[in-house]
Amino acid sequence: MRRRSWRRTAGSTPVRHRDRRAARTGQIIGAAVDIVPGRTAHVLRRWINSHNAAWRDGVTVASLDPFRGYATALSSSLPQAVRVLDAFHVVRLGLAAVDDVRRRVQQDTLGRRGHRDDPLYRARRLLRRSFTTLTARQLATLEHALVAADPTR
- DSSP per-residue string spanning 59-91: --EEEE-S-HHHHHHHHHH-TTSEEEE-HHHHH
User: pLDDT category, 50, cuts 50, 70, 90?
Assistant: very high
| Measured distance CA(129)–CA(108) in Å, rounded | 24
Sequence length of the chain is 153
Which pLDDT value is given to residue 3? 39
Question: Is residue 17's pLDDT more than 70?
Answer: no
In sequence order, the β-bridge partners of residue 8 are 15
**Residue 139 clears pLDDT 60, i.e. is over it:** yes
Give the tens place of pLDDT for each residue, 80-134.
988 888 888 888 898 899 889 888 888 888 788 878 888 788 888 888 888 788 8
**Domain extents in the chain:** 5-85, 89-148
Residue 144 pLDDT exceeds 70: yes
Confidence (pTM)? 0.58
- What's the CA gap between 18 and 3, in Å, rounded? 9
Q: Which of 81, 72, 82 is nearest to 43 (CA)?
A: 72
- pLDDT for res 104: 87
pLDDT score, position 18: 39
pLDDT value at position 106? 82
Name the DSSP class of 118: -
- pLDDT at residue 86, as a whole number: 82
Identity of the highest mean pLDDT range in 14-18, 109-113, 136-140: 136-140
27 — pLDDT class (breaks 50, 70, 90)? low
Confidence label for 11 from pLDDT (cuts 50, 70 and 90): very low
